[in-house]
Amino acid sequence: MNEFEWLRQTRGLRRDQRPPHDLWPGIAAALPARGNANLARPWLPMLATAAVVMLSVVLGITALRAPSSLVRANEQASSARWKPDDPRLAGAAIEFQAADSEIRLALEQAPDAGFLERIRARTQAQQWRLERYARRAP
């Protein structure tokens, strides 16, 4: 069989064929009773999907705002400049203070920039970890 014969045979398969009998009664009988309830209420799955989407949006907005509230709540606690006794950590303290100043200036220019607030929260968290480490070190 060459390619031309194969194409001729496949073109012959394109004809519509009707089944010998109606298939729907067998399909309807095979559907579970619970599945038929969804057929009677087609809006139910859409309502559940909409609820999941709304919940995701609310949680996403809450997650985006959480770092800014964390920064504001901890701003007063970290208002006192960290001055470590260990001279090896003095450079890190200066870098953290410079980073905090730069991020604060950037936030003044773009107060709605959530990513800057998240960066500031991460920077402060790193500083707090280093402060705890310095307190525990002999």
What does the pLDDT look like over 2-15, one tens digit per residue?
Answer: 888 888 888 878 77
79 pLDDT above the threshold of 80: no
Helix axes 43-75, 114-136, angle to 10 degrees: 50
For position 76, what pLDDT does the model report? 46
How many Cβ atoms from other residues are within 10 Å of residue 114's Cβ?
14
pLDDT band for position 65 (50/70/90)? low
Would the pLDDT of 16 be above 50?
A: yes
What digits encode the pLDDT tens for the residues 85-119?
777 777 888 888 888 888 888 888 888 888 888 88
pTM for the whole thing?
0.40
Measured CA to CA, the distance from residue 134 to residue 54 in angstroms comes to: 45
